[in-house]
Amino acid sequence: MFSGIVEETGRVSQVDPVDQGSRLQIFSRLDFSSSANGDSICVEGVCLTLVEKSSSDDGWLLSFDIASETLRVTTLGALQEGDLVHLERSLVIGDRLHGHFVTGHVDTVATVMEVLEEGETTKVRLGFPSVSLPSASRLVAPKGSITIAGVSLTVGEVEGDSFCVYLIPHTKEVTRFGALRENDHVNIEFDILARYVQQNYQGA
């Protein structure tokens, strides 16, 4: 379980095909000395299992095995050496909870449709491809929570199959969203409560 508060923007060191999946290596300057193989790490909003780690004077090299299904339904299949990725270690019971509860189970991929500067704030409009999840817009509510590439954000306006979020300077500084551009693709996880409400609505 995660909170959607990104701890660091790591860098992809290597991506190697393995059978129908891949082995992903990420360089991080976070302290992973207490992390063990089998621990969950949130990478771009996707909960991945740490399978190997090694340290150096300037950071840690983290290795993850990614299944073929994960490559198909998230943006991880498009990662290349040098790409920046959001990282968050799993929550510790007893810590303050910022953001909202995030599982790391990506629901769909959204496309950045528009990036508008409004003073120091950046307005980003995102849309859902209808072929991936026709009911996506029903799971997004104005002023509700949503996870975009592992980042907990508050939804602004919702219109049809698109919605907006607003990025403050701090968010742009500590995430890779300062370089977000039109037509970029990002992983989306809907709020847990919205999932269950939608499920009950469909079953009614």
**Residue 124's closest CA among 76, 75, 186?**
186
Cα 155 to Cα 24, 117, 174, distances in angstroms: 31, 17, 19
Q: What is the pLDDT of residues 93-105, one digit of tens each?
A: 777 777 788 999 9
Q: Which residues contact 134 (CB under 8 A, 6 or more apart)?
A: none
List the domains of the chain with CATH numbers. 8-89 (2.40.30.20), 108-203 (2.40.30.20)
Residue 100 near residue 52, CB atoms below 8 Å: no
Judged against a pLDDT cut of 70, whether residue 203 lies above it is answered with: no
Q: What is the mean pLDDT of the chain?
A: 91
Determine the Cα–Cα distance for residues 177 and 203; give it in Å rounded to an integer. Answer: 37
Residue 107 near residue 45, CB atoms below 8 Å: no
Judged against a pLDDT cut of 70, whether residue 200 lies above it is answered with: no
Residue with structure tokens 């995430």?
175
- Identify the band that residue 132 occupies on the pLDDT scale cut at 50, 70 and 90: low
Q: What pLDDT is recorded for position 57?
A: 87
